[in-house]
Amino acid sequence: SAVISQKPSRDICQRGTSLTIQCQVDSQVTMMFWYRQQPGQSLTLIATANQGSEATYESGFVIDKFPISRPNLTFSTLTVSNMSPEDSSIYLCSVQQSSGANVLTFGAGSRLTVL
């Protein structure tokens, strides 16, 4: 299965700043997704990162807050903009495995703490 590298693995940020998380995959993948896991909660899909076009956001998530780039089939970034303490979460990149539809591989996640 694909190997996913996420950077940074963790960070502590100040309120009002923005942080960009990078997701690098060791092979070309069609589908890339960004999830959020808030403390004590489950994973929530933020958006589908589309190569060559704008990301598709889920209800409750907007591009101004979570801009996403997908310049090619192996790389994507998620920016968390104008952060507040409520944005403290683990952000995970995931990709669809080529071996079967609907089977996802996850990165290790980026743990953000906003003070």
Partner 1 sequence: AQSVSQHNHHVILSEAASLELGCNYSYGGTVNLFWYVQYPGQHLQLLLKYFSGDPLVKGIKGFEAEFIKSKFSFNLRKPSVQWSDTAEYFCAVTRNTGTASKLTFGTGTRLQVTL
Which residues here bind partner 1, judged by CB under 8 A?
30-31, 33, 41-45, 48, 58, 92, 96, 100-109
Cβ closer to partner 1: 86 or 100?
Answer: 100
Alpha-carbon distance 68 to 48, whole Å?
9
Torsion angle (degrees, nearest 10) of CA 79, 1, 30, 45: -40
User: Least Å distance between CB 102 and partner 1?
Assistant: 5
Taking the least distance from each CB to partner 1, the nearer of 13 and 43 is 43
Nearer of residues 18 and 63 to partner 1, judged by Cβ: 63
Q: Which amino acid is at 76?
A: S
